Amino acid sequence: MSSQVNRPVEIRWHGRGGQGAKTACLLLAEAAFFSGKYVQGFPEYGPERMGAPITAYNRISDEECSVHSNIYTPDHVVVVDETLLHSVDVLKGMREGGILIINSKKESSEIRQMLGGYDGRLCVVDAERISTETLGRNFPNTPMLAAVVKASGVLDQAQFTKDMKKSFEHKFRTKPEVIEGNMKALTKTMEEVYVE
Amino acid sequence: MSKMKAADINEKITWQDITPGAEIYEPATSTMIKTGEWRVMAPVFKEEKCKQCLLCVPFCPDSSIPVKEGRRGDFDFDHCKGCGICVSVCPFDAIDFVKEAR
Amino acid sequence: MAIRERMSGNEAVATAMRQINPDVMGAFPITPSTEIPEYFSQFMANGQVDTQFVPVESEHSAMSVCIGASAAGARAMTATSSCGLAFMWELLYVAASSRLPLTMAVANRALTGPISIGNDHSDSMGARDSGWLQIYAENNQEVYDNFIQAVLITEAARLPIMVCQDGFITSHGVSNIQLIEDEKVKAFVGEYEPEDYLLNDRNPLAVGPYGTAPYYMEVKRKQAQAMMDAEEIIGDVARRFEELTGRSYGFIEEYRMEDAETAVVVIGSSAGTGKAAVDELRERGVRAGLIKLRVFRPFPAKLIAEALSGVKAVAVMDKTDSFSGNGGPLFSETRSALYDRKERPLMVNYIYGLGGRDVTVDHFFEVFDALGRIAESGEPGETYRYIGVRDAEERRR
């Protein structure tokens, strides 16, 4: 196995083509970049197939990471679409003490059951509800991003909130109403979600 | 820097001296090749029959029919290859086609 | 001050192109370099460049546009990948033999078949004898830096240049990067002022003549010399680039080779993965080292031979196969480079990472394990090997 010294935090994303898991992964890389980290954000590419399972990865570190392989033993796993639990072994290779962060309306007990009695750390985020309440539509990326930051502790939350505000202001400079909605989604998620 | 003349690019030139990519730095260097030597058949200009319609001029693939002040003259036999196209297109039978006599 | 940024390898190349602001870009969008003309089109729409962009119906035409533009006296560029590069084949030779400066970004990707869009080096390695200069990058920073240097190299050498990066792995992977300020890049690359060009009506020029047998070979020999002479140019440009940025680039990068007993030779992003393996092995007391090849054309035979001559066992890694039954292209050339040395290591070849097959730190551990056994026994065994492939023989063992 690779060295434990200065090992980057490794995160694996599971989603479906067209749902924005890759975008969320790149957003996390961006947020980590803003807070001064070395980052990698990369999808596992295949032919573009809407709805097919896709995987994306992040490495986040205080030092430059030269490894260019996929991630097989992630610290944390993010599942953007809970229906993947039926077809993808999302827990595969997850490290001891790692957190599964999943977008779902279900109770955590039900998720654990779906995962064959998973008793590790779990963070359930109802990204659809939060985004509908704050943005008026189902854009799960911002809540998922906020949930990953809070649950994993990979970034300082206050700094993250500040950086994302700047990022949204830049990205949505022609649509200021969206900035506020996204910031609400961000803070609401960080207030609500917890790791059990 | 003075450029190499096309005439200096001949079969004696070394790789050190040949131009990069065999570039040629002069225009119209094809006139240096006397293709008239290839001729097996030769056109003969019969000026008395010629109406100076000049149809033969654009048809000549080797630009071997000189035109001066709107009138064609005799062939440029340094470059005429004797293809006979001018003979075929002439509407007035003003060009004969004969075996080249060297 | 350098600009701290994060972006994909494709965006990094497109950014370099924006900063260089070439006269002409002829491109056909093809995965995964598609993003380069895409980003570049945005820069054009924003008025950030005044390049003449020629959208074409095929890569054959993309390369033809660049050849025409370069012959006319323009600074020309394009980007491609995989079968796109393959479709340029005929024109690659025209560009190189006509001695036309051209900069082409290549996102390395497998050639069909089976049909694949994954990364490997079969596309540009297949073009290794076309007469193009070839520079490869390990990461996004290197592809950006290489691209900027390439413009000066191609123009001074009068040979076209491929700036290669690993398709998807770095072309679509986002990571940190240090950009150079626009005005510094512009000053570094300067204006392109060719001595002779077709649009110069004061000095008429003919390009690409017919070369009959009495001339063809002299022209080729001169082309071969240009490739050899490019070595000095690449070194000079790297020195100037280091003065500008502090980042130094050689033909090869020797990683922990000082006292190495075993070493791998590798090109591209997997060099980074290999370095992590070397670090870990060094912690365990294994004297492992790595040589990353940055410049493949011209091939730095002497440097490689010097770097490897004291090593006991070497694995040369090829991300493509030559189907010679005798090893990949990097292996053949590396082994040949060492033939004249009195002291030379035992050497094996590993074909790896074809068609997007992931290459891990563990793969490198496996290679170094094998090298350790070879060094100890003095027996290389089978020299032509595959790694990361499912193998029934191995399963039985």
C110-129 pLDDT, tens digit per residue, is 999 899 999 999 999 999 99
Tell me: do C257 and C239 sit in the same domain. Answer: no
Residue A41 in any domain: the answer is yes
Residue A1 in any domain: the answer is no
CATH code, domain carrying C372: 3.40.50.920
Which amino acid is present at B93?
A: D
Chain B (56-85) residues lying within 8 Å, Cβ to Cβ, of chain C: none
CA distance linking residue A40 with residue A74, whole number of Å = 14
The predicted structure's pLDDT at residue C220: 98
Average pLDDT of the residues of chain C: 96
Mean pLDDT, range C14-34, rounded to an integer: 93
Residue A170 in any domain: the answer is yes
Phi (first) and psi of residue C377, to 5 degrees: -85, -20
Phi (first) and psi of residue A170, to 5 degrees: -75, -45
Task: Give the number of other Cβ atoms within 10 Å of residue A64's Cβ.
Answer: 14
H-run or E-run covering C233: helix C213-245
A36-57 pLDDT, tens digit per residue, is 999 999 998 766 688 899 999 9
C137-187 pLDDT, tens digit per residue, is 999 999 999 999 999 999 999 999 999 999 999 999 999 999 999 999 999
C122-148 pLDDT, tens digit per residue, is 999 999 999 999 999 999 999 999 999
CATH code, domain carrying C143: 3.40.50.970
Work out the pLDDT band at C94, boundaries 50, 70, 90.
Answer: very high
Which residues form the domain of C15? Answer: 3-245
Tell me the C-alpha to C-alpha distance, in Å, between residue A32 and each of A155, A178, C74: 7, 22, 41
Residue A99 has pLDDT above 80, yes or no: yes
Nearest to C272 among A39, A46, A68 (CB): A68
Question: Which positions in chain B touch C208 (Cβ < 8 Å)?
Answer: 21-22
Mean pLDDT, range C239-261, rounded to an integer: 98
Tell me: do C208 and C278 sit in the same domain. Answer: no
Q: Which of C206, C227, C245 is the last residue of a domain?
A: C245
CA distance linking residue C147 with residue C14, whole number of Å = 10
The predicted structure's pLDDT at residue A175: 85
CA distance linking residue A174 with residue C152, whole number of Å = 40
Tell me: do C131 and C150 sit in the same domain. Answer: yes
The predicted structure's pLDDT at residue A3: 46
The predicted structure's pLDDT at residue B94: 97
Average pLDDT of the residues of chain A: 92
| C71 close to C119: Cβ distance less than 8 angstroms | no
* DSSP string across C280-296: HHHHTT--EEEEEESEE
Q: Which of C218, C245, C272 is the last residue of a domain?
A: C245
Q: What percent of chain C stands above pLDDT 90?
A: 95
C306 Cβ under 8 Å from any chain A Cβ: no
Tell me: do C226 and C262 sit in the same domain. Answer: no
A47 Cβ under 8 Å from any chain C Cβ: yes
Helices A21-34, A141-152: inter-axial angle, 10-degree rounding: 50
Mean pLDDT, range B56-68, rounded to an integer: 97
CATH code, domain carrying A149: 3.40.920.10
Least-confidence region, from A158-172, C12-26, C291-305: A158-172
Tell me: do C171 and C300 sit in the same domain. Answer: no
Q: Which of C21, C396, C11 is nearest to C192 (CA)?
A: C21
A66 Cβ under 8 Å from any chain C Cβ: yes
Which amino acid is present at C397?
A: R
Domains of chain A: total: 1
Return the residue of B nearest to C215 by Cα.
Answer: B11
The predicted structure's pLDDT at residue B30: 86
Domain spans, chain B:
1-32, 34-102
A29 Cβ under 8 Å from any chain C Cβ: yes
Do chain A and B touch: 3 or more Cβ pairs under 8 angstroms?
no
Pairing of strands C24-27, C262-266: unpaired
Which residues form the domain of A180? Answer: 9-192
Tell me: do C207 and C315 sit in the same domain. Answer: no
Residue A1 has pLDDT above 80, yes or no: no
3-class DSSP state of A100: strand
Residue C73 has pLDDT above 90, yes or no: yes
Return the residue of B nearest to C98 by Cα.
Answer: B21
Task: Give the number of other Cβ atoms within 10 Å of residue C92's Cβ.
Answer: 22
User: Under CATH, which number does the domain B34-102 receive?
Assistant: 3.30.70.20
Q: Which of C324, C310, C296, C317 is nearest to C363 (CA)?
A: C317
The predicted structure's pLDDT at residue C346: 98
Mean pLDDT, range C282-301, rounded to an integer: 98
What per-residue string of b and e applies to A166-177 under the rule 16 or more CB within 10 Å gives b? ebbeeeeeeeee
Phi (first) and psi of residue C184, to 5 degrees: -70, -40
Q: Any residues with CB less than 8 A from the CB of C155 and at least 6 apart, and which?
A: C75, C101, C192, C194
Provide the shortest C-alpha distance from residue B64 to chain C (in Å).
Answer: 22
Residue A2 has pLDDT above 50, yes or no: no
Q: Do B18 and C219 touch (CB under 8 A)?
A: yes
Q: Do C270 and A68 touch (CB under 8 A)?
A: yes
C223-249 pLDDT, tens digit per residue, is 999 999 999 999 999 999 999 999 999
Residue C375 has pLDDT above 70, yes or no: yes
Mean pLDDT, range A175-187, rounded to an integer: 91
Residue A2 in any domain: the answer is no
Mean pLDDT, range C282-310, rounded to an integer: 97
Mean pLDDT, range C73-98, rounded to an integer: 97
Q: Which of C186, C220, C245 is the last residue of a domain?
A: C245
Nearest to C219 among B3, B11, B22 (CB): B22
C342-371 pLDDT, tens digit per residue, is 999 999 999 999 999 999 999 999 999 999
Q: What percent of chain A stands above pLDDT 70?
A: 95
Mean pLDDT, range A64-70, rounded to an integer: 96
DSSP one-letter code for B6? G
Domains of chain C: total: 2
CA distance linking residue A16 with residue A132, whole number of Å = 20
Residue A124 in any domain: the answer is yes
H-run or E-run covering A60: strand A53-61
The predicted structure's pLDDT at residue A5: 54
Q: Which of C369, C19, C361, C392 is nearest to C187 (CA)?
A: C19
The predicted structure's pLDDT at residue C190: 98
Q: Do C209 and B26 touch (CB under 8 A)?
A: no
